[in-house]
Each structure stands twice: as structure tokens, then as C-alpha cells.
Structure 1
Amino acid sequence: MDSMPKYASYKDSGVEWLGNIPSDWNLKPGFVAFTENKRNNKGMKENTVLSLSYGKIVIKPEEKLVGLVPESFETYQLVEPNDIIVRCTDLQNDKVSLRTGLAKDNGIITSAYLNLKVRRGFNSRFLHYYLHSLDTTKVIYKFGSGLRQNLSFLDFKRLPVFDISESIQIAVADYLDQKTAQIDEAIAIKEQQIALLKERKQIIIQQAVTQGLDPNVPMKDSGVEWIGRIPKHWHYEPIKYSLKGIVDCEHKTAPFVDEEEFFVVRTTNVKDGKINLTGAKYTHAKGYKEWTRRGIPTPGDILLTREAPAGEACTVPEDLKLCLGQRMVWLKVDRTRLVPEFGVALIYSSIGRTYIDFLSAGSTVLHFNMSDIANIPVVLPPLDEQKALVEYINCKSVEIENSSKILSQQIEKLREYKTTLINSAVTGKIKVA
């Protein structure tokens, strides 16, 4: 922002989190700009249900209204275009969700939200950008009261707002509409590129584990209609013939403790072929001993989720002492027949996914029983070829993941730039009008 135009002179705002503001900008309390809109929907004046989603006020999909009786909508509050909607609850525990949105449609929204109507002389787009900036820069979390730090209209009545001409407010809002749209478009393009890279990775894995790397290899019928043709020197079998055993979990929750070395792997920790330590839970030595009565998962063996969701898999890491949490299964791999990483790749291939889809047909929640797991279909080349294919998949995966990581970093920088740009424009740190 250093290279962008600035105002001629600045003064101390007197508000710590605002810092210096342009000399001809003044501050007034929020009650001069906002009124609280408390009009209810008595008599069903409106039936378009709105919700706050990712910082936008959107029309709620019909499938999300299942179970709500129309009479309950009479208690909802009316919303008009240019109203600012704020989610005021639970500042203490939720510091991630975007809390403000600018309405573009007529409709109704639950009375759990605060509805701010903008007074004459103030621009709703400018004020929403201002409140959005206080949200994304976490200033809003300085306000609120009660055990869980809830906001109320009183906080917004006291909130310092800028007393500047409406023409300047509109010019700033117009500038930010244009610039944020450009940033959002750039982010969307990069997200699409990440999606295409993920798709490319899946195609590479799919081809490697169902056909190998030789496009001219002689093929044969696998004997299973939905698997189709496989290389002539490969064979099809249920995975149980490539295992030394299948170890189920204890079907009860391990005692969780802080700062212990024994990791309890749960279904949330296995995703896309990898261990994910986000939200990791640990147990003590006594718990680990009890939860490994049936054996200690060996590095390189396969971990599989039985439910919620079923069918996620990864290999046991080398440097992690772990035991099985609920709905987890340990596949003890016979490494004279199956390379574990090849087995995981097969589970994520069209062969594994088709089998999972078949099992889930007619079920609201898919749950693997032990025979389902034993009969997971695999198509196996000779062991040396499995190793070569795993090496190829790993090499290509690293290339793709590195490219995805660079794109993700670029997206994060764009989001940071967007936050800084909005904050700088609405507080006068840069001159855009």
C-alpha cells in the first residue's frame, strides 16, 4: 500500500485500533449511522428465507428448509436490500466465520441475527466494507459482553463511524467493488487450477493402478464386469488374500489427555491417502496399552475408515506411535504380495470407489463390516512392478502437490491483500476517491 496515493495530511483519530485518519475526516458514534431493524414477519409478508453464508446474504436453498414449519417464519425479521446483517453470537469460540453481510434481496432471516438499517446520509456499501474490515482484522472481537462475548446493537451504537460526505463513501465503495471483484476472480481462477491439478493427479493414479505405464501392454478380461480389462500379466483378487490379518478397533472411546506421545487415529485424521494431525487426540501409556491389545500398527501397514466417512485410507507413518480410535481398521499387509502404498492407491481408484458406491447404495450412512473390508477388490501386478508404479505415483504426486502449494500460497496472499486493501480504503490510509 506504500506506493498508493495518500491524503494531504493526517491526524490522530483518538481510537487505538484506527490510528491516524485523514485530517478532514471526523468520527461520530454509530447511532448516527445505524438503526436496528426489528420488523417481524407477522402475517407472512415475505417467504424468501435468507441466510448469512461466507460473508454474503444468500437465499436459503429449499432443501435446508426441511423440517421448518411455515408458522415459524412469522418470528423471522424482515430484510430489505442494503440492510447489513451481523451474526453477533459466540465471539469467544468462533473467530473464523465472517460475521457480516450486505443484503441484496427482500426476504426474512432468523431473529438470531442483528439487522442494521443505514440512515440517510450514509452509504450502506461503505459501512458494510467498514464493518467487514473490523471483522477480518479481528477488531470486532474487542467488543461484546457476557460469558461467550455476544455483540448487541448497543455495541454498534457506540462504534466510531466516519462522518464524511456521502459522495466520498460511494466513491470508496465503487473502488472496492471493482478491486475486490478482480481479486475474487483471480482467486477463483487459481482455485480452478488447483481443482484441475487434483483431477490430473487422480487420472495419473487411476491409469497407473489399473493399466500400468505401458499403453501397449496386452490386456485381458478381469472376470469382473465393472472392473473390465486389466493387463494380461496382472490378476484380480479380494484384498484379504494380500493381508495377514484385519484388526478392528475397540468400539469405545480411548481416554484423551493433553501432551502425550500416543496418537489415537480417528476417521477425521485420515483423508486423501494421508494422515492429518489437525485436531489430533492423544492418550496416556495405560490407554495405549489397552487400545493395542490386538497389536501395534506397523509402519507401512494400511489404516482404513469404516464409517463417517467409510473408505478413507493411508499407510501407518514411520515416526508416530498410534492406536486405533473408533470406526478405524488396521490392515496387516502381506508385503510379499502387496505394496501397501499400491493398496491405498487402489482403494482411491475407480475400482475401490465403485465398490464403495455399490456398498452404499440405499444406505443413508455407509458402514463397512469386516467382510466388506476383506472383499475390497484389488488388481495386482508383480511386486517389482507395484514398487515401480508407487515410485512413479509418488514422483508425479510431489510435482502436482508442489504446484498446488504454490497456488494456495498465491491465493492466501491475494486474500491478505484484499483484507489490507479494504481496511486501508475505508479508514483513509490510502486515497481512492
Structure 2
Amino acid sequence: MSEMRDSGVEWLGEVPAGWEIRQVGQLAEVVKAPNEGLAENNLLSLSYGKIRRRDINAVDGLLPASFETYNIIQPNDIVLRFTDLQNDQKSLRVGRATERGIITSAYVTVRPHDAFRSRFIYYALHAYDLRKGFYGMGAGVRQGLKWQEARYIRLPWPGEEEQRRIVDYLDEKCAEIDRAISAAEQSIEEYKAYKNSVIFQAVTKGLDERAAMVDSGVEWLGDVPAGWDVVPGKRILRLLQRPVEAGDGVVTCFRDGEVTLRENRRTEGFTVALKEIGYQGVEPGDLVVHGMDGFAGSIGISDSRGKASPVLNVMDSDQNKRFLMYYMRGLAYRDVYMALSDGIRVRSCNLSWKKIGNLPFALPVLDEQRRIAEYLDDRCSQVDSAIAVKQAIIFDLKAYKQSLIYEVVTGKREV
């Protein structure tokens, strides 16, 4: 292990005795190259610390009418997002370009004086970002940061050959970790697809594989067991309009189907209503369908007393509500609501009470509803546990990657 010394920089701590400390402004300069005359149309964006291509003709998202104000960037340029430091403390704010293209001029683009050093400067700034170094530096209403301030950020600076070893090592190790993360993420998607298939199969075909089947008369529903009824939702569901009580907290229907007080999950990232016009009371056991996000699975049974936005359909039924919940989720996972949609939001639909009331429900007798719901409770719990294991692996891998980058780029781990 090399002899270490105090760097005099808080975020760096000790560094190898032979390393220098440089301000990033000594190593790179700002690039301002407006896309005049729309000379370039390779649209790029900074997402999760990676500079990625976007479709310049896409209709979703906030795309400007003209891209002439965008900045033309080149391979090895480093892009820094200094906006919204106060409200967004999770994003990764440093990316390195690998191709020519255009990116919003709201970001700061810097070009290293030596293209070879670009990878090391990127990793050093990335390490600074991972240590949340940019936060607290910003000023103004949106807590923005300017290059005139950021240029004084101090970075470790080993010799050229050591920089080469470091970036080659980190490129290789980070690629290995990213592949492991990608494999775990793919497993999660496969588990989710399997879970969705199990739900739809159980709520539309039942648990008895030998049961005689009949045509339901509904194209997307297909055949159902012979003893089941197919009825519109308005015959089995009752829309509730309970009053709000003093002291009620806000109940939210999340996309994973949990219906609970907002404070039980998280409080940040929500739009706060200044006037709670049309809010309604919710009780434990109520069946809740989110009018705008039900298409994605925001359908569940409330576990809380509280008040909810009028966008939520709060309902009761004499049928088994857990069966009805799984049935409606099963349709969401098969994109049935999207097919019936007349909504204008991208990847959304308005799942109103009128649509729910007209929706065909395939219903077995109550005892079979109960058995199906219990079966799905058990199977879904097993799949969710498997997903949780994969999520824990991803969490650990990401934490290891962050630690590895910081330790290697600051010389605390030799390579």
C-alpha cells in the first residue's frame, strides 16, 4: 500500500503521497456550441449517470420546438446537471459522452484539455457526485449551480500511467457489476411476468384444470369455467362517497396495489392539493381503483382510514373483494384497460366508475372466489419474496460499485 497523506480536501480524505490535487477548472473548459441551423439531430440526454440517445421525433416528454439552442457535444465531453439540487437529491449528475450529438444547454458541458484524461476526470467527478458533493453548493430558488462555482471542485490527480491503470480497472469491474445488475433486473421482470400470468390464469380460468369451459362472449376474456357468471361491474360493486373526518390523513393507491396512508410509505414526490375539493373518506377493507393509474395495477384493498382524492374509485361489494382486486389487476396486466382507453395521457387511461360499471366480471361462487384469492395471496407472496431477494442483490451491487469507484479513484485501493 502506498504511503498516504491528508489531501486537505474533506470529501477526499487521505490520498497517496505522490498524488496531486487539481481543480476541475484546471483540467477542462466549458463548451458552448449552439446547434445553429439544426446542423446536428442526434438527440442525447443524461439519465441515471449515462448519456443516452433519444428519438428527436418522439412525442412524449418535454421536447422543445427547436433544437437550435441545444449544445453540440463530442466524444469524451463531460456533461454536468446542476439544476434542481434542492428538490432532487437522488439523480446522478455526471455523464461522459461517447458520441457526437446535441444535449440541452440547461446542462453544463466541459471538455477536458487532454481527451485521454477524460475517463479519469469523469470517474473522479462521478465519485464526488456519489458522495453528494454537489448538494449544498447551489444557490437560488431552484438551488442551481454554475460552472463559475463548480470549477473550483478539487479532484485527485495521479500520474498518467496510474490514471490509465485506474480507468481500465474501473471500466472492467464496473462492466462486470453492471452485467450482474442487469441479470438480476431481468430476473425481476421474469418474476413479474410470471406473477401476472398466474393472476390472470386463476381469475379467468379458475384452479381446476379439468373444468369444462364455455365461451364468455367477451373477446379479451375468452373461455371461462362453465359454472361462472359474467356480469357487469355495476351489478356487484357499489361506489362509495364517505365524508371526510377531521384529522384524516391522505390515503394513496400505489402502483404495486398497496392502498395505505401516504405517511406509511413516503411523503416526498407527491403533488400537494391546495384545496381538497371532492376528497372522500376511505375505510380499511374498501376496494380502491385509481382512476388514472389503475391501468398499471393501482388497484387494492385499503388498510387505513383516511381521505382520498376524487380520482380514486372507492367501492364495496358483497363478493370477495380480494378476488375482485386480483381480477381487476389481472386485466391491468393484460392491458385490457389500455385497449378500452380514450385517455390522452401517454401510457394511461381514465378508468372511471362508468367504465368499471360496464366492465365484464367473470365470477365463480363465493367459496371458489375465496379459494382463488387465498391461492393468489400465497403464490404472489412467494414471487414477491423472490423479487425482494433480487432487489437486495441489486442494492448491494450498486453500493459495492459506488464504494469501489470512490476507493480506487482516490487511491485508497491499489490496482
Do both proteins adopt the same fold according to a TM-score greater than 0.5, normalized to the shorter chain?
Answer: yes
Q: 2:300 aligns with which of 314, 318, 342?
A: 314
Which one of 227, 242, 263 corresponds to residue 249 of structure 2?
Answer: 263
Q: After alignment, is 136-145 or 356-365 more displaced?
A: 356-365
- Aligned equivalent of 1:134: 128
Corresponding residue SS for 1:62: coil
Q: 1:172/1:228 Cα in 2 relative to 1: closer, same or farther (>3 Å)?
A: same
For the residue of structure 1 that corresponds to 2:412, the secondary structure is coil
Quick check: 1:8 aligned with 2:2? yes
The answer on 1:412 being equivalent to 2:398 is: no
* Cα separation, 2, equivalents of 1:198 and 1:306: 23
CA deviation digits over 1:19-38, x for unaligned, max 9? 11001112122232111122
Q: Following TM superposition, by how much is the alpha carbon of 1:235 offset from its aligned partner in structure 2, in angstroms?
A: 1.5
Equivalent pair of 1:261/1:321 in contact (CA under 8 Å): no
Greater Cα offset, 82-91 or 307-316: 307-316
1: CA distance, partners of 2:157 / 2:218: 74
Cα separation, 1, equivalents of 2:38 and 2:370:
66
Q: What whole-Å deviation, never above 9, does each CA across 1:326-365 have from its counterpart, x for those lacking one?
A: 211111211xxx1000001111224995652342158556
1:347 aligned onto 2:328:
yes
Q: Which amino acid aligns with 2:239?
A: I
Paired residues of 2:206 and 2:372 also in contact (CA < 8 A)? yes
Q: Does 1:399 align with 2:392?
A: no
The answer on whether the counterparts of 2:78 and 2:110 sit within 8 Å (CA) in structure 1 is: yes
Determine whether 1:92 maps to 2:73. Answer: no
Q: SS at the partner of 1:158?
A: coil
Q: Secondary structure at the residue paired with 2:173?
A: helix
Give the Å deviation of 1:385: 1.3
Give the SS at the match of 1:96: coil
- SS of the aligned residue for 2:88 comes to coil
> Residue 272 in 1 paired to residue 259 in 2?
no
Q: CA deviation at 1:153?
A: 1.9
Residue segments in structure 1 that go unaligned for 5+ positions in a row: 1-6
CA drift of 1:137 comes to 1.5
Residue in structure 1 matching 2:289, options 293, 304, 307: 304
| 1:2-401 superposed matches below 5 A | 7-64=1-58, 68-69=64-65, 72-120=66-114, 123-243=117-237, 245-247=238-240, 262-266=248-252, 269-275=253-259, 277=262, 278-279=265-266, 291-292=279-280, 296-308=281-293, 312-317=298-303, 320-334=304-318, 338-350=319-331, 353=334, 355-360=336-341, 366-401=349-384
Q: Retained in 2: the 8 A contact 1:351–1:378? A: no
Structure 1 residues 121 and 112, CA gap change in structure 2 (3 angstroms)? closer
CA distance in 2, matches of 1:410, 1:374: 43
After superposition, the C-alpha distances for 1:56-83 in whole angstroms (9 at most, x for unaligned) are 12222123478644xx433322211101
Q: Retained in 2: the 8 A contact 1:35–1:119?
A: yes
Bigger CA drift: 133-142 or 10-19? Answer: 133-142
Amino acid corresponding to residue 2 of structure 2 in structure 1: A
The amino acid of 2:240's aligned partner reads V
The one-letter code of the counterpart of 1:144 is: G
**TM-aligned CA distance change 1:359 to 1:173, over 3 Å:** same
Cα displacement string for residues 390-412 of structure 1 (whole angstroms, at most 9, x for unaligned residues):
11110111111111111101100
The DSSP-based 3-state class of the residue aligned with 2:250 is strand
One-letter amino acid matched to 2:306: L
Contact 1:206 1:349 in 2 (8 A): yes
Identity rate, percent: 35
CA distance in 1, matches of 2:75, 2:101: 9
- 1:201 and 1:422 map into 2 onto residues whose CA distance is 36
